[in-house]
C-alpha cells in the first residue's frame, strides 16, 4: 500500500479530521513563503530595514507609508487561486470527514476553495479595520487608497487584519483551534516547518491516533507521526480524496 493509499484509508475512517497548514500550502498557488532560502525574509528589499522589521507592528506605527508599500508588494497576491490541496480539503469537509482547517496563512484561499470552518492564526489580507474606531473594510479599500488608507468615518489608519511581529494572536481563534485539534481523530500537518510559535505548539493538543505529516523537509514532529509523506501537498491530498470510496 502506498503512502497516499494509507492516507486515504485513514481518512475513510475519520469523522473529525483537522488540517493544520503553513506556507507550503500556498506556495503551490504561486505565493512565496517567508522563511525559506528564497523566501521574503531572506531578501534584501530595503537599504535600511530588513523584511522582518518591515513586517512588525512597530514599523507599521513609525513608518506607516513604507509599511503599506511593503505590504501591498509582498503580502498581497490577488491573482493567486486555490490549488488542488485547498479544493481537496473543502471536499473532505463537505463529506463530513474534516471538521476544521487551522492555517498560518493569510491569503484566504481555503475559503475561496469552499472550506467553511477555517481558523486563521495570523489573520487575513482579505479584511482590515480602523485602528481608532474599529470600522471594517475589505482588501480593495486597502489596495486602492494610497499611500495610506484612512477611515471614511473617523480618519484613522485602516490596518490590514494580519498579525504583525509584536502583536498577539487572536485569543478566540487560538481557543477554537485548540478545541478542534483536541477533538480531532486525525491531524494532518502540511506545508509547515513547525518552528513558528506559538502557532506550532498547537499540535501538542492533539490526542488522536493519526498524526500525518505532509512536508518536503523534516520537522521535529516526524518521529511521532503515524505517516510522513515527502511530496506535494496538493497532489497528495487530491489523490487521497480521489481514492475515497
Question: Are both 220 and 206 inside the same structural domain?
Answer: yes
Q: Pairing mode, if any, of strands 210-214 and 227-229?
A: parallel
17: in domain: yes
Same domain, 105 and 136: no
Regarding whether 117 and 11 lie in a shared domain, the answer is: yes
Give me the residues paired with residue 213 across strands. 189, 228
The single residue of 63, 86, 110, 122 carrying the catalytic annotation is 122
pLDDT at 47: 57
183: domain CATH number?
3.40.50.1220
Same domain, 189 and 223: yes
Tell me: do 91 and 197 sit in the same domain. Answer: yes
Same domain, 151 and 226: no
Asked if residue 59 is part of any domain, the answer here is yes
Q: What is the pLDDT of residue 145?
A: 98
Number of structural domains found in the chain:
2
Do both 150 and 71 map to the same domain? yes
Q: Please state, in angstroms and rounded to a whole number, the distance separating the CA atoms of residues 225 and 217.
A: 14
Model pTM score: 0.91
In this prediction, what percent of the chain has a pLDDT beyond 70? Answer: 94
- What percent of the chain lies above the pLDDT cut of 90? 82
pLDDT for the residue numbered 195: 84
| Residues composing the chain | 245
Q: Are residues 158 and 99 in the same domain?
A: no
Residues 176 and 229 in one domain: yes
110 belongs to a structural domain: yes
Residue 92 falls within a domain, yes or no?
Answer: yes
Q: Does residue 219 share a domain with residue 116?
A: yes
Task: Determine, yes or no, domain membership for 127.
Answer: no
Residue 100 lies in a domain: yes
Mark whether 18 and 87 lie in a shared domain: yes
Cell numbers of 10, please? 485513514
Q: Is 122 a catalytic residue?
A: yes
Domain coverage including residue 27: 3-31+82-122+169-243
Find all residues with CB under 8 Å of 237, minimum gap 6, and list them. Answer: 84, 85, 88, 89, 188, 190, 214
* Range of lowest pLDDT (7-16, 48-57, 124-133, 226-235): 48-57
Question: Do residue 116 and residue 194 come from a single domain?
Answer: yes
* Spatial CB neighbours of 100, under 8 Å, sequence gap ≥ 6: 18, 19, 117, 118, 119, 176, 177, 180, 184
Amino acid at each position: 500500500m502506498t503512502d497516499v493509499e494509507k492516507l486515504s484509508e485513514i481518512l475513510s475512517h475519520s469523522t473529525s479530521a483537522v488540517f493544520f497548514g503553513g506556507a507550503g500550502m500556498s506556495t503551490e498557488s504561486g505565493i512565496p513563503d517567508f522563511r525559506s532560502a528564497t523566501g521574503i525574509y531572506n531578501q534584501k528589499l530595503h537599504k535600511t530595514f530588513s523584511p522582518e522589521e518591515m513586517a512588525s507592528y512597530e514599523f507599521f506605527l513609525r513608518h506607516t507609508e513604507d509599511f503599506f508599500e511593503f505590504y501591498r508588494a509582498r503580502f498581497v497576491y490577488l491573482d493567486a487561486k486555490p490549488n488542488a490541496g485547498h479544493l481537496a480539503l473543502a471536499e473532505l469537509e463537505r463529506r463530513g470527514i474534516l471538521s476544521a482547517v487551522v492555517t498560518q496563512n493569510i491569503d484566504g484561499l481555503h475559503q475561496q476553495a469552499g472550506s467553511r470552518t477555517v481558523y486563521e492564526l495570523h489573520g487575513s489580507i482579505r479584511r482590515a479595520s480602523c485602528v481608532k474606531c474599529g470600522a471594517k473594510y475589505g482588501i480593495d479599500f486597502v489596495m486602492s487608497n494610497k499611500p495610506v488608507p484612512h477611515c471614511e468615518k473617523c480618519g484613522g489608519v485602516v490596518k490590514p487584519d494580519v498579525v504583525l511581529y509584536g502583536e498577539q494572536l487572536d485569543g478566540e481563534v487560538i481557543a477554537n483551534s485548540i478545541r478542534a485539534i483536541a477533538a480531532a481523530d486525525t491531524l494532518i500537518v502540511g506545508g509547515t516547518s513547525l518552528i513558528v510559535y506559538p502557532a506550532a505548539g498547537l499540535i501538542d493538543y492533539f490526542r488522536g491516533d493519526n498524526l500525518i505529516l505532509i512536508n518536503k523537509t523534516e520537522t521535529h514532529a516526524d518521529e511521532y507521526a503515524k505517516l510522513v509523506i515527502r511530496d506535494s501537498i496538493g497532489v497528495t491530498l487530491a489523490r487521497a480524496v480521489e481514492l475515497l470510496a
